Structure 1
Amino acid sequence: MTTSATQIPITATPKIVVLGATGPTGRHIVSQAVSRGYDVTVLVRSSEKGADLKGAKIVVGDARDEKALRQAIRGRDAVISALGTPASPISEVTLLSAASRALVDSMKAENVSRLVTITGIGAGDSKGHGGFLFDKLIYPLLLRKVYADKNRQEAIVKSSDLDWTIVRPSILNNKRGDKTVRTLTDLSDFHGGTISREDVATFILDQITSNEWLRKTPFIT
């Protein structure tokens, strides 16, 4: 654990917690982490949902519940949040910000500082760089309320004193990863792009033992 932005000491076998582990990206994160030999704990809403997450320890609970979060986080080195929420064209979305608020408080209470969280293209200053279809149709019609909550999520994480990295992937696909990830911080000439969930998972796990993107918001495609 560290409160410095210069070094991330992690044990030889990282002990990680994955939130959103039953989602399509979360499953890649868990399987790759287990294959790397990591000690993996997942927080899931029911034991049935996590039954096929082979090699991971299961903690049952809601990601907005500090008691469940602290149980999952206790004694861990780092937390990965791959939480997502469905499109919501009408109803307000609060899951991501509520869970992030509870997570930050729980990590502080358990003295765990390393957090890698996923938001997406359209969050923060990446808005308007998803390509015509995403920016003009999908975002305003289906995802506007989701991204309002992703922005609140990012603000909560950034205002914490945790050793955070916020990863913003381009539009996700389910293709096989090709291990080539382009990382950007300046999107002025970028519009569109896709990336496989498998490659996102690889990039996310690489951040656990790296300080290259500490307290930064890399965009990957």
Structure 2
Amino acid sequence: MKVIVFGGTGTVGRLVVDQAVQQGHQVTVFTRDAATVPRSEPGRTVVEGNVFDAEALAPVVAGHDAVVVALGAGSRGGVRARGTAAVIAAMQASGVRRLIVQSTLGVGDSRGNLTFFWKYVMFGVLLRRAYADHVEQERLTRASGLDWTIVRPAAFTDGPRTGKYRAASGPTTGPV
């Protein structure tokens, strides 16, 4: 399978790229700075560009079987939704249908999984712009008409892979 990863040099995106390559997929890493991607690693094609330029993205996206969006901007926001909108436009222009978007736990129907602290302090005050960016990113994804999946991870440990995961689909009551 040919996969292109937007945000493939970030914390999560790098892991997505590594695991896709390990599983035998051909991976295109789209980055704003190609110098951040090791060139000697097999199974990766590196493309440098501007994720906000849908017209320039269309020929890069063309020919891929799936698109993964793992964009981030920390607490600033402003990158996820805008970049996802450009990726969606490029996919629609090039006929690529499969979209996987990384969002965050607490957006949409997963809001009930958050504690008071996360709802009102973290996402309500400290990370308000980042949260709003995720909300808009999900809205754009749902309205895209593409075959999409939204992934809402909860917490990362930066440790070695354990192979153990907890998952839920749809609304749940309490932390996953």
More displaced stretch, 138-147 vs 48-57? 48-57
Contact 1:116 1:166 (8 Å CA) reproduced:
yes
The percent of aligned pairs where both chains have the same amino acid is 33
CA RMSD of aligned residues (A): 1.8
Q: What is the identity, as a one-letter code, of the residue corresponding to 2:72?
A: G
Which residue of 2 is the match for residue 165 of structure 1?
A: 149
1:114-133 alignment runs, 5 A limit: 114-133=98-117
Contact 2:103 2:134 in 1 (8 A): yes
Unaligned runs of 5+ residues in structure 2 are none
More off after superposition, 115-124 vs 94-103: 94-103
Question: Given the alignment of the two structures, is residue 64 of structure 1 paired with residue 48 of structure 2, yes or no?
Answer: no
Does the 8 Å CA contact 2:112/2:171 hold for their aligned counterparts? no
Equivalent runs, 1:62-101 vs 2, <5 Å: 62-88=50-76, 93-101=77-85
Partner of residue 5, structure 2: 18
Structure 2 residue aligned with 1:48, among 21, 31, 35? 35
Deviation at 1:137, TM superposition (A): 2.8
**TM-score, L = length of structure 2:** 0.90
CA distance in 2 between counterparts of 1:105 and 1:21 reads 19
Displaced runs of 4 or more, over 6 A: none
Alignment partner of 1:37 out of 17, 21, 24:
24
Indicate yes or no: 2:166 matched with 1:178: no
Aligned residues: 175
| Unaligned runs of at least 5 residues, structure 1 | 1-13, 192-220
Asked if structure 2 preserves the Cα contact closer than 8 Å seen for 1:129 and 1:135, the reply is no
Please name the residue that 1:197 is paired with: none
1:184-220 deviations in whole A, cap 9, x for unaligned?
13444213xxxxxxxxxxxxxxxxxxxxxxxxxxxxx
Does the 8 A contact of 2:3 with 2:25 survive in 1? yes
Number of the residue aligned with 1:207: none
SS of 1:116's equivalent?
Answer: strand
Letter in 2 for 1:57: T
